[in-house]
Amino acid sequence: MLVLKLLGLLVLVLALLAGGFALYLHAEIKDRFEARRWSVPSRVFSATIPLYPGQALSVDRLKEMLESRRYRESDDETVRAGEYRVQGNVISAHLREFSFPGRSLPGRHVRFHLNQGKIAKIEGDEGSIAFLELEPVEMARLFGHQRESRLLINIHRTPPHLLDAIISIEDHRFFDHKGMDFRAILRALWVDVKARRVVQGGSTITQQLVKNYFLQPDRSFRRKFVEAYMAVVLEAMYSKEEILEMYMNEIYLGQRGSIAIHGFGEAALHYFGTNVEDLDLAEAALLAGMMRGPSVYSPVNNPQAALQRRNVVLRRMLELEKISGDDFRKAVETPLKLAGRTLPAKSSPYFVDYVRHQLQELYEPAVLESEGLSIYTSLHPQIARAAEKAVREGLEELDGMVPQSSRSSAAGPLQAALIVVQPRTGAVLALVGGRDYGKSSFNRVLHAHRQPGSAIKPFVYLSALEDFSAVSRLEDEPRQHRVGGEWWTPRNYDGRYRGGVSFRQALKDSLNAATVDLATEHGLENIVETLRQCGIESVLEPYPALALGAFEVTPLELAGAYSVLANDGQKPFLLSLREVVTEEGEVQEKRHVDFTTVTTPARAFIITDILKDAVETGTGRAMRGWGIDFPVAGKTGTTSDYRDSWFVGYTNDLLVAVWVGYDDNQSTRLSGSRGAGRLWARFMTEARPWFHAGNFRVPPGVAERVVCKESGELAVPGCSDRVREFFLTDNVPQSYCPVHTVPW
């Protein structure tokens, strides 16, 4: 009797212990699975790319655009999602679906007909297409210290043949057991007992999930017991579909450099360049087969072993009647076809660093590295590629133009900074902060403080439009100015002085003496105020040399200031970050277009028209010889001893600022036109398909008159040198030319 009581008590204690352990495991599992399940890096995306008939685009360039988005070239007539096919001048592509907050780009078949370097026609299954958007490029991922990369999937959007492949090869009774498969356990136990060590596993998918998620990967009977117990608890808490989805997002499937690939979503994109829902049977079987040993069965490193393992999975699916004999034969005969690129490699790295800098003002690093945010930016991937190419090839060209004897042996290479802005929206379309990010990650667009030289002059003249007009007379003479108790005389670039010149000529030809004369007459404090309103934040002192750019700015500051001139006097907030979206599709951060009124459209236009003249016949006239045959307004900048070379130019829809120089401030022996201007022209030629340069619009408040070039007054029949000139409507000349008027 006593023995029975003791046994009963023992059973009760064991039951209580088991129940307590189960409750403990229940709490542990719930805490882990109801909280954040995985560390998922944030993904940084470019903007979409518009495509339409009439657009300048070649077959090779369109292929490059598709391949940069991981599209694969199809070998047969069937073009699946994420693939394209070239037939002469026709490219057929199956565009992937891509979802944004509030809208999505549909997945669909399209045919691009190209002719003589242009898109002649775009067709879809529904007929002609007037306009479509190509999905963004994934530019980078912001990883945490674990360097795990996941692209989470939804089991309800997963193709059935992938689920069947996983279950067939790993746990074909998955939907029948309750977390443990006792048949498999007994079979494995018998093998282990005979071997007197753990040599075979009988783990279910649920047990494998528990092992990967909670336990150490050691092979012991104690760990197997805890694993089985937790699997039963897990199955009691979650549905089979939820467990399988967790497993498919957790499983390790290989390595990309230092980055671990976890989950079928990431693996599908990495190995095949496609979304998981677009995997075919052969691809699904190959990925399922990799679970046994991702390094052994890697299709990249061991393609033959991967194919053999794939066929094992397919045969198992056939045995379990998950596929037909025809499906089996077709899949077995399918050759291995991997994605051509192993993206996302970090593209536009200087731009990504700029975005990361902005994000860190909004989010903790741990959030960016683990919560799977989707970060949509303003970067135009094709314009960005053109910018990087222009900097790389342009600097190589300039290297041959800079005398070797003029360079110190300790000096680093010639560097450049280039930023592309859309003035109407403030969108930063491209940003290149140096020659080679791998050798120097210092972002010169943001952090290089350099003197702008003559590139600052347009703002001196903008400020002075309050008192002057384009025909006002200025003195271009070597005058002395008192600065800090000493006398200083500004000198013109070519050493010549022209005496009396017009306001237009002084800016167009970048005459230093006339500019300082204008600045001192108008008031240096007024010029400082204008520069501040245009966004120049650097230290500014009201000295005469201010008018010649004798202070420091960053290329980003200067581009922002010029955006005022290019945008009808409205200063845009320069925008690189558009939206930050959570995994659930919730928009956490959205940046809107924002403007500040600095000056009137009329005044901005008059300066723009003079800068257009500067490119036509002034200091930027070399542009025409470099293929710039469309309307452009721009200004060169060259500092003392040629330390800095600048060119800022803009069309009616695009603004580009370029700086060239040495980091240690050595002389480049390059003027603004010869150095930065050359890179600017190279970029604009390369990026030509992506902007639409037209004439600058004459805004209200501007009047056009024919004047005498000599007197600046309204022309009369006797004036031999007449020019058309623009004026503010409240500053139009009222008198006729007194020089050529015939007296009564």
pLDDT at 258 over 80: no
pLDDT at 219 over 60: no
The 8-class DSSP code of residue 135 comes to P
CB count in 10 Å sphere of residue 138: 20
Rounded CA gap, 276 and 255, in Å? 18
- Strand partners of residue 475: 500
pLDDT at 65 over 50: yes
Rounded CA gap, 113 and 352, in Å? 34
Residue 546: CB partners within 8 Å, gap ≥ 6?
A: 519, 524, 527, 528, 540
- Strand partners of residue 43: 141, 374
Tell the CATH topology of 46-140.
Penicillin-binding protein 1b fold (3.30.2060)
Rounded CA gap, 381 and 46, in Å? 6
Question: Are 149 and 141 a contacting pair, CB within 8 Å?
Answer: yes
pLDDT at 634: 96
Rounded CA gap, 463 and 448, in Å? 26
> What burial letters (b/e) apply to 74-90, b meaning 16+ CB within 10 Å?
beeeebebbbbbbeeeb
pLDDT at 686: 93
Rounded CA gap, 361 and 348, in Å? 21
At 12, is the secondary structure helix, strand, or coil? Answer: helix
Q: Give yes or no: 170 in active site.
A: yes
pLDDT at 502 over 50: yes
Question: Are 568 and 599 a contacting pair, CB within 8 Å?
Answer: no
Q: Measuring CA to CA, how many Å separate 171 from each of 22, 244, 246, 310, 646?
A: 24, 11, 15, 16, 66
Parse the chain into domains and list their residue ranges: 1-35, 46-140, 143-332, 348-450+572-593+621-700, 701-744
Helix%, strand%, coil% for the chain, nearest 5? 40, 20, 40
Tens of pLDDT, residues 477-497: 998 887 777 888 899 988 899
Q: Measuring CA to CA, how many Å separate 458 from each of 245, 453, 563, 624?
A: 61, 11, 12, 21
Question: Are 322 and 543 a contacting pair, CB within 8 Å?
Answer: no
Q: Give yes or no: 405 in active site.
A: no
Where residue 273 falls among pLDDT bands split at 50, 70, 90? Answer: confident
pLDDT at 77 over 90: no
**Token pair 């996941």 is at which residue?**
150
Tens of pLDDT, residues 410-438: 668 999 999 999 999 999 999 999 999 98
Question: Are 647 and 618 a contacting pair, CB within 8 Å?
Answer: no
The fraction of the chain above a pLDDT of 90, given in percent, is 57
For every residue of 326-362, which 3-state class applies, written as one string? HHHHHHHCCCCCCCCCCCCCCCCHHHHHHHHHHHCCC
pLDDT at 30 over 70: no
CB count in 10 Å sphere of residue 654: 23
> What burial letters (b/e) apply to 520-554, b meaning 16+ CB within 10 Å?
eebebebbbebbebbbbeeebeebbbbbbbbbbbb
pLDDT at 230: 73
pLDDT at 233 over 80: no
Which amino acid makes up residue 712? G
Where residue 464 falls among pLDDT bands split at 50, 70, 90? Answer: very high
Question: Are 289 and 310 a contacting pair, CB within 8 Å?
Answer: yes
pLDDT at 21 over 80: no
pLDDT at 586 over 90: no
Q: What strand order describes the sheet that includes 42-45?
A: 138-142, 42-45, 374-377, 577-581, 587-590
pLDDT at 475 over 50: yes
* Cα–Cα nearest to 81, from 64, 98, 68, 65: 98
- Strand partners of residue 727: 703
Tens of pLDDT, residues 35-56: 545 667 888 999 999 999 999 9
* Cα–Cα nearest to 168, from 343, 317, 12: 317
Question: Are 510 and 549 a contacting pair, CB within 8 Å?
Answer: no
pLDDT at 744 over 60: no
Tens of pLDDT, residues 168-213: 998 888 888 876 666 655 665 655 555 555 544 557 888 787 777 6
Rounded CA gap, 577 and 360, in Å? 12
Rounded CA gap, 583 and 162, in Å? 23
For every residue of 280-331, which 3-state class applies, written as one string? CHHHHHHHHHHCCCCCCCCCCCCHHHHHHHHHHHHHHHHHCCCCCHHHHHHH
Question: Has domain 143-332 been given CATH number 1.10.3810.10?
Answer: yes
Which amino acid makes up residue 282? A
pLDDT at 596 over 70: yes
pLDDT at 511 over 80: yes
Residue 557: CB partners within 8 Å, gap ≥ 6?
A: 535, 536, 537, 538
Rounded CA gap, 274 and 265, in Å? 9
Tell the CATH topology of 348-450+572-593+621-700.
Beta-lactamase (3.40.710)
At 533, is the secondary structure helix, strand, or coil? Answer: helix
**Token pair 């972002």 is at which residue?**
443
Residue 397: CB partners within 8 Å, gap ≥ 6?
A: 678
The DSSP code sequence of 215-282 is: S-----HHHHHHHHHHHHHHHHHS-HHHHHHHHHHH-EEEEETTEEEESHHHHHHHHHSS-GGG--HH
- The answer to whether the Cα torsion of 503, 509, 514, 519 is positive or negative is positive
The fraction of the chain above a pLDDT of 70, given in percent, is 86
> pTM to 2 decimals?
0.84
pLDDT at 199: 45
* Cα–Cα nearest to 260, from 378, 149, 123: 149
The larger pLDDT score, comparing residue 356 to residue 469, is at 469
Active-site position among 149, 454, 510, 563: 454
Which amino acid makes up residue 417? A
The larger pLDDT score, comparing residue 369 to residue 82, is at 82
Q: What is the mean pLDDT of the chain?
A: 86
Active-site position among 83, 135, 138, 170: 170
